[in-house]
Amino acid sequence: MIDELILDKLKHINDLLNITKHNHKKIVFVYSAPKVGSTSIVSSLRLFAINQMDIIHIHDEEMLKVLTKNPNISTSINDLISYNYYLGKDVYVINVYRSPIERKISAYFEKIGSHHFNALDEDVNTYNLNKVTTRFNNIFPWIANGDHFMDTYNVAKPDIFDVNNKYLSIKNNGVTYITLRLSDSNEWGKILTNIFRFPIRTIKDYESSNKPIKDLYSKFKEHYKIPVNLLNDIVNDKHFKYYYSADEISSYYNEWLKKSETSTTHYTREQYELYERISIENCHIDRVQFDHYFDEGCTCKACGIKRSETVSRLLSCKELTNRIVHKDATIDLINQRTNKINNIRMQQMMKKKKQFKHNMNSIVMK
């Protein structure tokens, strides 16, 4: 018997997340580590299925407090997932794994200003590349580690990842757990279509190349050479060895070996923990991400119209330019309606002028 107080707390969280409001049969938790491409899946599902399922994007319990705007929320994401299955919903949990070096680079640049250098991204964008690289190598082993499917879900995983089908889907206590790889993102549309049984196309989303830090980020990716001892540690990582086949690991290693350099020292765990404490204490910049998703998930009429237009362009392989943001969609709809009314009035005015001219000609002829 589940404790009534726990049920009330979980129901309250569902209310805060608007899950109760929509009352959809399906609910998808895109529950993965940050910087692995999960925003792309969230926006893609919103584009094609926002009227058929609830889509919750979450990384951890701290993020749950942000989503619910309640700092006192204290429950595990796994409990929330189980609760929604308890309510009779079809529950899906999606995880994404990203190749380790690329994920570390992305995670580093995500907070390079506010966290790592206590400065604005625009200022860090002008920093010396060697300075930025040295800091990255110092903390390399300790950032962006782990995988939710293996470490967080508390489910029995298959012995190997299905590299042929490029995803895993298992059922545990009634909940469907799916794990993908970012390296297979070109196949995500087909994979998600097979799982959910309606057409889904995926879009790229929220890339660091579009942020204020983009110049330094591009330069870093072009010139970075990984110390060979860090590269050797990577290929022995248990998550990497699970998600990649032996041939894939060999290929990945050899590609990075071409861009490697001599070994370097890095922070010990104790040094990194001190670094983290000091960074957090010094941080005075709270950069809020206002453009996190291509589709922000609003279900109003204006956003619905914009979403339909976007889906049509996506299915026609046309370029996507405008994000689906409530304020912008509302302005667009108002402008469309205003233009339509103005066109109708103009047509009526022209019709009256034409009729008046015809009448005047008739009088003259008489």
From the CB of residue 175, how many other CB atoms can be counted at a distance below 10 Å? 20
Judge whether residue 366 has pLDDT over 80: no
pLDDT in tens, 67-125: 888 888 888 999 999 999 999 999 999 999 999 999 999 999 999 999 999 999 999 99
pLDDT in tens, 289-298: 546 788 888 8
Number of residues that make up the chain: 366
From the CB of residue 155, how many other CB atoms can be counted at a distance below 10 Å? 16
pLDDT class of 10 with cuts at 50, 70, 90: very high
Q: Residue 340's pLDDT is what?
A: 73
* Structure tokens, 328: 């912008």
What is the reported pTM? 0.86
Q: Are the CB atoms for 217 and 109 separated by under 8 Å?
A: yes
* Structure tokens, 176: 């469907």
What percent of the chain is modeled with pLDDT above 70? 93
Q: How far apart are the first and last CA of the chain?
A: 96
Q: Please tell me the distance from the alpha carbon of residue 242 to that of residue 95, in angstroms, as a whole number.
A: 14
Helices first, then strands: H and E counts in the chain: 17, 7
**SS3 call for 34:** coil
Q: Output the 3-class SS for 257-308.
A: HCCEECCCCCCCHHHHHHHHHHHHHHCCCCCCCCCCCCECCCCCHHHHHHHH
